[in-house]
A and B are shown apart, each in its own frame.
Chain A
Amino acid sequence: MNFDLVAQLAISGLVIGSLYALLGVSFGLVYQTSKIFHLAGAIPFAAAGYAAVWAAKSLQLSIWLSIFIGLAAAVIIGVLILVLGYFPLIKKKATLLSLFLISLGLSVAFPNLLQIVFGVDNLPLEVYDAEGNPAVPFANPTYASGFLTITKLNIVQVVSSWLLVIAVLYTIKKTALGRSITALRTNPAMASAVGINNKVVYLVVFSVSSFLMGVAGILITLQFVANPTMGLQWTLIGFIAVFFGGITSLGGSALGGLILGLLSSLSGIWLGSQYAPIVTFAILFLTLLIRPQGLFGKEAI
């Protein structure tokens, strides 16, 4: 076996797995508190990318301001989805599957709306000087050590993903707000009985989740481009990471994402790229049969 290759694949797996972990936590937060299959999580993801590109291009803002606008857009649109999309139905005591339909409708409509407004082109996140010449905002050198390489942006992706994951996990564990979220997750009836305001918790959870989605969207836009369908695949992966890790544990969702990333990358040692998803899903399938509660899920069902 070629150890250089294994090490390099592990690095690739770590990079992509860190983003999966970020998405896993984003998705897990929403799912744990509301049980909604928040397919529309793809919307803040794409909104962040587009808003940042728009700010840099049309408003000619600096890269950091553009990123800020992108993240703000993600949070705003995420909260709007909750307030205008989910709240009215939750009030009507709709089933979770009906909420899923709302989510589905939004994620069908939104990419096409993006296409209508911004066109079909791939849009890179670039900054513009006074003459209107586009430039790459951050230099992205490749660091090499022998066979192994990693780019600066990859390092940024790994570090920022895990910092955010740890920050969210810490907040959940240590703060009153986090405890409310846990309470709501484990026993919603009891939580409202002791005066935890569901609405406020939901609002916070969706803001944080959309923020994390936005960060992922910005990181991907920085690496490549923004396009209308950019969020969809990622949302599905976040969803799988959550269940793979076990829905009872947010940390499990993060680790589930990481393992998913490593799996899909390392399976490349033996198999072509097209087989990677098959291996991933087969392992997922078997994992569920052996541990129906997910890898790190606590309670048996």
Chain B
Amino acid sequence: MAYYSQIAINIMVLITLGVSLNLLLGLIGRVSMAQSILFGIGAFTAARLALPHRTPEMADNVSGIGYGLNWPWYVAIAGAIVVTFIAALIISIPAVRIIRGEYLILLTLAFQLGGQQTMVVAKTATGGAYGVAGIPPITIGEIDFSGYTDLGTFHIAIVMFIVTLLVILIAFGIANSPFGRILKTLREQDSVVSSVGKNPVTPELLAFGIAAAIAGGIGAIFALSQGAIIPGNFNLDLSILIISVVVLGGTGNLLGTVIGAIFLGALEPILRSALGDSAIPWRAVIYGSALILMTYLRPQGILPEGAKLKLRRKSRQESIPVTQAEAIARLCRTKELAGFNSDEVLELRDLKKSFGGLTAVNGASFKIPRGKITALIGPNGAGKTTIFNMITGTLKPDSGQVYLRDKEITLLGAVKIAQSGIARSFQDVRLCERLTALENVMVAVPNQLGENLLNLVFKPRACRRREKEVRARAFECLAVLGVADKAFELISDLSYGDQKLVAIARLLATDCEVLLLDEPTSGVDPSNVEGVMQGVMKLRDIGCTVCLIEHSVYFVEKLADRAVFLDQGVVLAEGSVESLMNNKELSELYFGG
């Protein structure tokens, strides 16, 4: 029994570590090679906290015997969780938002390799290569939790089972919370989060911290149940095994991780009993081959993330709760806005920006009127997108100011500017392909309680209530643009025109007053252009101020109330669309060139 219990424990350790990595790899798409060392930091922290005080019999040079603070097991586990959480923050604070993709792999790899070497060298902390032994087991009443006896091992397996369920539950909760939605958006469209006015740094840091804390907590249980640990337990091989579990199971799918861990964790014992002693090196060969074979058979993982989504979409064939007319009525804000006396919402004063020797914008000044559609037109390279980037704070102007309703916002930074009421779309739609249209829009709704982890823990009910409202709001935004029927479709399944509309709905969901649209019809099928145009007009109907960059003359004529003509970073003319169209010089510049 001890053996099967032990195998079960090993598999559950693998499951929990896999789930912890899946929070990073699955939710934000960041690969960490350091899960193993974090697991180890938790294990050694717990060991040092739980080991008994030093006694005179403990000779210094006797390896393997440790001493510590003699704290109870639960304090040791809690301590391990806190320490690993902090350790993860220490590595991620300088790295977050700077280091991406493959370089993050290298950074975590350096942490892993440097860390495992430090564990060997730091003898006073870890006992050196021989580690520490004699770690006291968990004690609850008279129950035996010693890893050295049959019954104790079985009891540990039960504890691990509960812990595993708990970890999966936490991960599931995070993945399906508004917090998790932000992480998924970070994974697929890094720039979007700040453009809808949300702080992308804290969620990413927290995700690293939580993933580490889970690994650390499991490390603590591992240490308490094993009684002896050595630095060699926490090597790179384990990190690679954890990554294999997640990738083999299917990135972003918790159930997949469980299956992946069972597959890889049970394969060895099965091979052992099937092949016997004589073929020990063969086991490794077959193990490697099985890994290859599984990857061939299921290159997207045993259960890809999509598999889960398909199930969910089927189960949620609900009717659309709101019609277009109702939605427009609900979102209309012309009345509230009537109170403002100034007609000009946004004002640019003498904005300048050059890249190297190239001047992109050279003293642009213009105003954007409230409740109207203003088009920025001009030839390629006129500096239109650069102006958008400066307004939204993704680029810092060399000089000049931007005023939103007479308040300067020039240097507030992307997140603050979006929060103060300016949102933009991008030429490419920048939607999260693996999320539904509804989820894409929900990300943008402001003031979501559930984006704060503390609220999720301490005010779960309020979070759920707010989540309902957020959902309703997202539906309304989709309905205004006429794509509410696509709410449960994955973005990858939508036509490009519909994607553009979802992207505009996402802007609308930010509650921003000024919406900047970067070429809303570019790349859209001619048959769908009309739909996009209708959508933009609906924005004006409900009282939004729209500024758009557009090349299609037809579109500008049909839609825009005003136009600003730019060339080589300077405003050449502004006024009604007709007046500009009738200006011969301009039309030559624009169309004739």
A10 interface hit (Cβ, 8 Å):
no
With A108-B284, A112-B284, A278-B121 in contact, is A101–B291 under 8 Å at CB? yes
With A100-B247, A101-B248, A288-B103 in contact, is A108–B114 under 8 Å at CB? no
Interface size band for B:
35 or more
B-contact bits for A269-280, CB 8 A (1 contact / 0 none)? 000001101101
CB neighbours (8 Å) of A105 from chain B are 288-292, 295
A88 to B289, CA, bound (A): 15
Does the CB pair B100–A292 fall under 8 Å? Answer: yes
Please report the total number of A residues contacting B with Cβ < 8 Å.
45
B110 interface hit (Cβ, 8 Å):
yes
Does the CB pair A108–B287 fall under 8 Å? Answer: yes
Does the CB pair A104–B106 fall under 8 Å? Answer: no
* B10 CB, nearest partner CB in chain A, Å: 18
Does the CB pair B299–A92 fall under 8 Å? Answer: yes
A243 interface hit (Cβ, 8 Å):
yes
With A104-B291, A109-B287 in contact, is A97–B251 under 8 Å at CB? yes
Closest chain A residue, CB of each to CB of B94: A289
Does the CB pair A116–B99 fall under 8 Å? Answer: no
With A97-B243, A108-B287 in contact, is A281–B106 under 8 Å at CB? no
With A89-B295, A112-B281 in contact, is A274–B117 under 8 Å at CB? yes
CB neighbours (8 Å) of A277 from chain B are 113-114, 117
CB neighbours (8 Å) of A95 from chain B are 247, 251, 299-300
B118 interface hit (Cβ, 8 Å):
yes
CB neighbours (8 Å) of B288 from chain A are 104-110, 112
Closest chain B residue, CB of each to CB of A294: B103
B80-118: which have CB < 8 Å to A?
A: 94-95, 98-103, 105-107, 109-111, 113-114, 117-118
Closest chain B residue, CB of each to CB of A277: B117
Does the CB pair B110–A88 fall under 8 Å? Answer: no
Does the CB pair B292–A106 fall under 8 Å? Answer: yes
Does the CB pair B282–A102 fall under 8 Å? Answer: no
A35 to B101, CA, bound (A): 11
Does the CB pair A301–B284 fall under 8 Å? Answer: no
Does the CB pair A285–B247 fall under 8 Å? Answer: no
* B41 CB, nearest partner CB in chain A, Å: 15
Does the CB pair B287–A243 fall under 8 Å? Answer: no
Does the CB pair A240–B109 fall under 8 Å? Answer: yes
A85 interface hit (Cβ, 8 Å):
yes
Q: Among the interface residues A88, A115, A278, A294, which one has the most CB atoms of the partner chain B within 10 A?
A: A278
A105 to B288, CA, bound (A): 4
CB neighbours (8 Å) of B248 from chain A are 101
CB neighbours (8 Å) of A243 from chain B are 102-103, 105-106
Does the CB pair A274–B120 fall under 8 Å? Answer: yes
A244 to B106, CA, bound (A): 8
With A281-B117, A301-B103 in contact, is A98–B284 under 8 Å at CB? no
A301 to B247, CA, bound (A): 25
* B386 CB, nearest partner CB in chain A, Å: 18
Q: Among the interface residues B106, B286, B287, B296, which one has the most CB atoms of the partner chain A within 10 A?
A: B106
Does the CB pair A116–B110 fall under 8 Å? Answer: no
A153 to B101, CA, bound (A): 39
A213 to B287, CA, bound (A): 25
A116 in complex: contacting residue of B282, B295, B301, CB < 8 Å: B282
CB neighbours (8 Å) of B100 from chain A are 292, 301
CB neighbours (8 Å) of B285 from chain A are 109, 112-113, 116
A-contact bits for B267-311, CB 8 A (1 contact / 0 none)? 000000000000001101111111110011001110000000000
A285 to B92, CA, bound (A): 11
B385 interface hit (Cβ, 8 Å):
no
Closest chain B residue, CB of each to CB of A101: B295
Does the CB pair B118–A278 fall under 8 Å? Answer: yes
B244 interface hit (Cβ, 8 Å):
yes
A111 to B292, CA, bound (A): 15
A301 to B105, CA, bound (A): 15
Does the CB pair A288–B106 fall under 8 Å? Answer: yes
CB neighbours (8 Å) of B102 from chain A are 35, 243, 247
* B428 CB, nearest partner CB in chain A, Å: 15
A94 interface hit (Cβ, 8 Å):
yes
A244 to B109, CA, bound (A): 12
With A89-B295, A101-B248, A116-B285 in contact, is A284–B106 under 8 Å at CB? yes
Q: Among the interface residues A93, A236, A285, which one has the most CB atoms of the partner chain B within 10 A?
A: A285
Does the CB pair B284–A109 fall under 8 Å? Answer: yes
A85 to B251, CA, bound (A): 21
B158 interface hit (Cβ, 8 Å):
no
CB neighbours (8 Å) of A112 from chain B are 281-282, 284-285, 288
A105 to B291, CA, bound (A): 5
A282 interface hit (Cβ, 8 Å):
yes
CB neighbours (8 Å) of B301 from chain A are 98
A293 interface hit (Cβ, 8 Å):
yes
Does the CB pair A288–B110 fall under 8 Å? Answer: yes
* A175 CB, nearest partner CB in chain B, Å: 27
CB neighbours (8 Å) of A289 from chain B are 94-95, 98-99, 107
Q: Among the interface residues B251, B281, B291, B301, which one has the most CB atoms of the partner chain A within 10 A?
A: B281
A277 to B113, CA, bound (A): 8
B295 in complex: contacting residue of A94, A275, A281, CB < 8 Å: A94
A208-249: which have CB < 8 Å to B?
A: 236, 240, 243-244, 247
B240 in complex: contacting residue of A104, A275, A292, CB < 8 Å: A104
With A105-B288, A274-B117, A277-B113 in contact, is A94–B299 under 8 Å at CB? yes
CB neighbours (8 Å) of A274 from chain B are 117, 120-121
CB neighbours (8 Å) of A35 from chain B are 102
B106-142: which have CB < 8 Å to A?
A: 106-107, 109-111, 113-114, 117-118, 120-121
A101 in complex: contacting residue of B110, B247, B281, B282, CB < 8 Å: B247
Closest chain A residue, CB of each to CB of B98: A292
A88-136: which have CB < 8 Å to B?
A: 88-89, 92-95, 97-98, 100-102, 104-113, 115-116
B-contact bits for A243-279, CB 8 A (1 contact / 0 none)? 1100100000000000000000000000000110110
Q: Among the interface residues A111, A236, A281, which one has the most CB atoms of the partner chain B within 10 A?
A: A281
With A288-B99, A288-B103, A293-B103 in contact, is A89–B113 under 8 Å at CB? no
* A247 CB, nearest partner CB in chain B, Å: 7
A115 to B283, CA, bound (A): 12
CB neighbours (8 Å) of B111 from chain A are 281, 285
A-contact bits for B248-259, CB 8 A (1 contact / 0 none)? 100100000000
CB neighbours (8 Å) of B236 from chain A are 236
A285 to B114, CA, bound (A): 9
Does the CB pair A98–B295 fall under 8 Å? Answer: yes
* B200 CB, nearest partner CB in chain A, Å: 16
Does the CB pair A101–B244 fall under 8 Å? Answer: yes
A301 to B121, CA, bound (A): 35
Beyond A240-B110, A244-B106, A292-B98, 5 additional contacts (C-beta under 8 Å) are: A102-B291, A102-B292, A105-B291, A109-B284, A285-B110
- B residues whose Cβ falls under 8 Å from a Cβ of A: 31, 94-95, 98-103, 105-107, 109-111, 113-114, 117-118, 120-121, 236, 240, 243-244, 247-248, 251, 281-282, 284-292, 295-296, 299-301
Question: Can you give 14 A-B contacts (C-beta < 8 A)?
Answer: A85-B292, A89-B295, A94-B300, A95-B247, A101-B247, A104-B291, A106-B292, A112-B282, A113-B281, A116-B282, A247-B102, A282-B110, A285-B110, A301-B100
- A-B interface, 7 closest residue pairs, ranked by CB to CB distance from nearest: A109-B288, A281-B114, A94-B299, A105-B291, A108-B288, A105-B292, A112-B284
